[in-house]
Amino acid sequence: MIHSMKIGDRRTFRRAITQADVQQFAEVTGDTNPTHLDAAYAATTRFKKPIVHGMLVGSLFSKVFGMDYPGEGTIYCSQTLTFLKPVYPDSPLTVEVIVRRLDVEKNRAYFDTLIHDRAGDVVIKGEAMVMPPKEKRNA
C-alpha cells in the first residue's frame, strides 16, 4: 500500500457533530464538563454556548485513516492536536489529511491533519503517523 501513496495526497470528508454525539461522548469518556452539556453554564463562559469536546472533533481523523486512506487495516500510531477555535454542535466541519512524508522502509506514513469550520478557518491542526496495511485487501 505505501508504494501507491504519494507526498501531497489529500483526503477530505464533511461532518457535523450533533449535541447527541456530544452527550454520547460525555457518557463514554466520563467528561461531563458543563461547558459541553449545560447551555446555562456555557452562557457564562467565553464561548457563550456549549462547545464540542476537542477530542471528539479530533477523533474524526480516525475515519479517514481506518476506512478511506490508507484504509482498512491501517494502524493509527500517533496524533498531535492543537485546538485553535471552538466547535459548536451542528456546525459543518471539513476533515482533511495530507501526506507529508513517507518512510517506505519502515512502512510509515506521516500526515498533516486539519479540521476546518464552515468559513474555512482551521479549528484543529496536528500531525499523524500511521502504518498502512502491507497490501490492499480485496473488496
C-alpha cell at 12: 477530505
Q: What distance in Å separates the CA atoms of residue 112 and residue 92, rounded to the nearest whole number?
A: 20
Work out the pLDDT band at 137, boundaries 50, 70, 90: low
Asked if residue 115 lies in contact with residue 83, where contact means CB atoms within 8 angstroms, the answer is no
User: What are the residue ranges spanned by the domains of the chain?
Assistant: 2-131
Q: What distance in Å separates the CA atoms of residue 50 and residue 71, rounded to the nearest whole number?
A: 33
Work out the pLDDT band at 136, boundaries 50, 70, 90: low
Summarised one tens digit per residue, pLDDT across range 101-116 is 999 999 999 999 999 9
pLDDT at 1: 86
pLDDT at 138: 56
Summarised one tens digit per residue, pLDDT across range 27-44 is 999 999 999 999 999 999
Q: What distance in Å separates the CA atoms of residue 22 and residue 4, rounded to the nearest whole number?
A: 37
pTM: 0.91
The domain defined by 2-131 carries CATH number 3.30.9.10: no
Q: Is the pLDDT of residue 128 over 70?
A: yes
C-alpha cell at 121: 478557518
Residue with cell 452527550: 23
Residue with cell 499523524: 128
Asked if residue 117 lies in contact with residue 92, where contact means CB atoms within 8 angstroms, the answer is yes
Summarised one tens digit per residue, pLDDT across range 51-84 is 999 999 999 999 999 999 999 999 999 999 999 9
